[in-house]
Amino acid sequence: MYLGIDVGGTFTDGVLVSENKIIKTCKIPTSNNSILEAFEKLMDDKPFKRLEKIVISTTLMTNLILERKYDKTGLLLLPGPGISYQDYNFPFQFAIARGSIDFQGRIIEPVDEDEIIENVGQLIRAGCLNIGIISKFSSRNPALELEVEKIVKKQFPHLNIKLGHQVTGNLNFIRRAMGTGLFLATHNTFYNFILDIENSFKQRNINCPVYILKADGGIVPIKFVDKFAVDTILSGPAASCLGAKALLESDASAIVVDIGGTTTDLSLILNSIPLYASRGVRIEDIYTHVRSLAVYSIPIGGDTGIDIDGNNCLILTFQRAGLPACLGGEKPTLTDCLRVLDLTDIGDKDKAYSVLENISILLKKPVTEIANTALNMATDLIIKAIEKVFKIWQEEPAYRIWQLLNPLSIKPNTLICLGGPSGPMGRLLSEKMQIKNVHYPLCSVANAIGAALAIPTYEEKVRINTEKGEISSSWGYFVKMENLQKQKLFPKIAETKALEVFNLFLKENKVYAEPEIYQHEVFNMVRNWQTTGQIHEITLGIKPKILGFIENKECFG
C-alpha cells in the first residue's frame, strides 16, 4: 500500500493506493496538523505494517520563499570578471571577495585571506550566522570555495556554512548563489518540520519509509530531504501532473489543466512523459536552479470573481472574491456560474442565483446568459494559455542541428481537468477545443495520487575534461582523475565512468534504479592545430515514471 498526501494552500488531499487500485481518498482543510489528520482518515483501522511508503508533497518551501520567512543569511561571492554587481538581486546581504575561476576550472586569481575574514566579519556583525560561499564556475572546480570555507571556519568556528557547488553543479552563478542562500535561510524551519513529521510517525509506530516530493516529480527519503529542501518548491503541480498521468492511458499525450481556487496550472504529458522546464523554477523575482515540470499558471480559478466594469461590461476580476456564494461567500464567482447552469451540484443554487441576479438586473440580461458569458470568457482565457504553452514549448531554443531538423511534433489529443470545478470546466473546454475529455471523480484528488505513485527521477550532467583529467557533475561531484586517457577517451569508457559516479550519488541517497544515458556530446579541444584533449558532456538520469496506472478509476467513489 502507498499513501500519498498533498498539502495545498486550502485543502490537503490524500489517497491510499494498493495494487494500482484506490482504496480510500480524503480531502480536508489544510491546517498545521493536516498531514497526520489525513493519514489517520486514510488508514482507519488498517494495519500499518501493510504500508510500503508514504509520500508527502508540501507547499512549505514555496510559502517560506514567497513570504520571505528567512533566517538571516549572508553570501560571500567570488565572482571574478563578468556582469556588474549592480545587477545582482538577492534577498540576502552579500559581500564580494577576490578570487576567481574560469569555465575550464582554472584558478585565475587566488583568494585573499584578510579580505575574506574582513568581509565575513561584516556579515556576522550584520547578524548573519548562516554564510553561503559561492564562486563563479565552482562546479568546474570547487577549490576556491573549499579554501574559503577553511579560512572562515578557522576564524569563525560557529557559523553555519554552505558552499555553492554543494547546492548545484549546474552553470548559473546567480541561481547557484540564490539556491545556497535559500537553503541556509530556510533550513531551520524546514528541518524542524521534517523532524516533526518523523517524530509523529515514530510515535505511532509507523516504520515504513517516508518520502518528500520534489518539483521534478521525483521523491527523496525524508532523512535526506534537508539536503534537497529547496528542490521541494512547487511540488504541487508536479503531483497533479503525475496523478493525471496515472489516470490516463499508459501512452497518452495530454494537456493537464489543474483548476484551483485562484489559479489554473497547465502542464503537458507527451507520450506519457511530463514536459520539463528548460530553466530552473522561478518564483516572482527569485530565480532558482530547481528542475521542475514545465508548468504555466494563469490567475483563473473557481473563486475568480465576476463584476461589471465602468462601461457596463461583464468582466472577470482575477482577484479572489472569497468563497463562491453558493458555498457561503458573498460575491459571484465562476463556481456560481457553473451552479446556476446546473453544471455542478456543489453548493446552494439559490445563493448562486441571487448574487448573479444583481449583475443580471444591471445588464438587463438573464442570469443564465450572464453565467454562460462569464464561463465563456474564462474558458477562452484558458484555451489561449494552452496555446501559449504550446508556443513556448515549440520555441524552446535548440543548440544542435539535429534538434532543429527533427522537431518534436506530438499533438496531445486528450484534455484532463483536475481540481474542484474540473468536471464541468473540462467539458466546456474540450467542447470548445474539440478534443477528447477525460474526467473521473478521482480527478479532484489527482495530486495525492501523483504523490503516492511517484518514484525518484533525475536528469543530471557529467562533464569529463580529459586534458585536465577532471570529472565534474551537476550535483556538485568533482574529482581529479590521474589515469584518464588524455587526447581521446572512447565514448563507451566515458559513459561507464559517468554512470559509475552517478551510481555513487544514487547510492548515497538510497536510490536503487537503473540510470540511463540521455545524451553524450564530445568536443575536441584543439590548441595550435593539435588535439590536446576532449570534453565529454554526458546527460544521464532516471526517466520520470510512476509506480502504476490506476485501474479502478471508473468505479471508485
Partner 1 sequence: MNKSTGLVFFPAFDWSISPTHPEREERLLYTRDQIMEEGLLDFPNIKEYKAQLALKEDILRTHFCLPAYENVITEAHLIAAGSAIAIGKAWHEKEIFNGFALVRPPGHHALHITYGNRGFCNINNEAILVEFLRKKYEYRKIAIIDTDVHHGDGTQDIFYHDPDVLFVSFHQDGRTLFPGSGFINELGGPNAFGTTLNIPLPPGVGDNSLMYIIDKLILPVLKDFEPEIIINSAGQDNHFTDPLANMNVTAQGYARLTEKLNPDILVLEGGYAVETALPYVNLAIILALAGKDFTGVIEPQLGNKKLIESKDIMKYCETITSKLLSIWEKKKEINLDELFGKEKFYTRKKKIFYDTEYFTEEQEETVRRCTDCGGFIKYISYLKDNRKSPKSLCISIPIYSCPDCQKAGEDLFYSECNKDNFQQIFLQHKPKDLYLSKDDFHGEY
**Binding footprint of partner 1 on the chain (CB under 8 A):** 79, 81-87, 100, 102-104, 106, 108-109, 136-137, 171-175, 279, 287, 395-402, 404-405, 521, 523-526, 528-531, 535
HEC letters along 292-316 = CECCEEECCCCCEEEEECCCCCEEE
Q: How far is the CB of 411 from partner 1 (least distance, A)?
A: 19
- Nearer CB in complex with partner 1: 70/393: 393
Q: How far is the CB of 139 from partner 1 (least distance, A)?
A: 9
- Nearer CB in complex with partner 1: 42/498: 498
> How is residue 105 written as a grid cell?
576550472
- Nearer CB in complex with partner 1: 53/461: 461
Contact by Cβ (8 Å): 478, 165: yes
Q: How far is the CB of 321 from partner 1 (least distance, A)?
A: 31
Name the CA dihedral angle for 266, 267, 271, 272, rounded to a multiple of 10 degrees.
-110
Q: How far is the CB of 92 from partner 1 (least distance, A)?
A: 16
- Nearer CB in complex with partner 1: 336/459: 459
Which DSSP letter does residue 531 get? Answer: E
- Nearer CB in complex with partner 1: 333/472: 472
Q: Element (H or E) spanning 283, and its range?
A: strand 282-283
Q: Measured between alpha carbons, how far is 399 from 413 in angstroms, rounded to an integer? A: 29
Burial of 127 (0-12, 13-18, 19+ CB in 10 A): exposed
Q: In angstroms, what CA-CA distances link 268 with 237, 249, 253, 296, 518?
A: 11, 14, 7, 10, 20
Q: How far is the CB of 403 from partner 1 (least distance, A)?
A: 9
- Nearer CB in complex with partner 1: 190/477: 477
Q: How far is the CB of 401 from partner 1 (least distance, A)?
A: 5
Q: Measured between alpha carbons, how far is 116 from 71 in angstroms, rounded to an integer? A: 22
CB neighbours (10 Å) of residue 522?
A: 15
Count of CA atoms in the C-beta half-sphere (13 A) of 506:
22
- With residues binned 3-state (H G I as helix, E B as strand, rest as coil), the percentages for the chain, rounded to 5, are 35, 25, 35
- Cell 500519498 locates to 4
Q: Measured between alpha carbons, how far is 494 from 485 in angstroms, rounded to an integer? A: 10
Q: Measured between alpha carbons, how far is 256 from 268 in angstroms, rounded to an integer? A: 6
> How is residue 384 written as a grid cell?
489561449
Q: How far is the CB of 280 from partner 1 (least distance, A)?
A: 9
Q: How far is the CB of 395 from partner 1 (least distance, A)?
A: 5
Question: CB neighbours of 347 closer than 8 A, spacing ≥ 6?
Answer: 324, 325, 326, 327, 328, 335, 336, 339
- Nearer CB in complex with partner 1: 79/217: 79
Q: Is 275 helix (H, G, I), strand (E, B) or coil?
A: coil
Q: How far is the CB of 517 from partner 1 (least distance, A)?
A: 17
- Nearer CB in complex with partner 1: 36/171: 171
- Nearer CB in complex with partner 1: 134/259: 134
Q: How far is the CB of 286 from partner 1 (least distance, A)?
A: 11
- Nearer CB in complex with partner 1: 159/525: 525
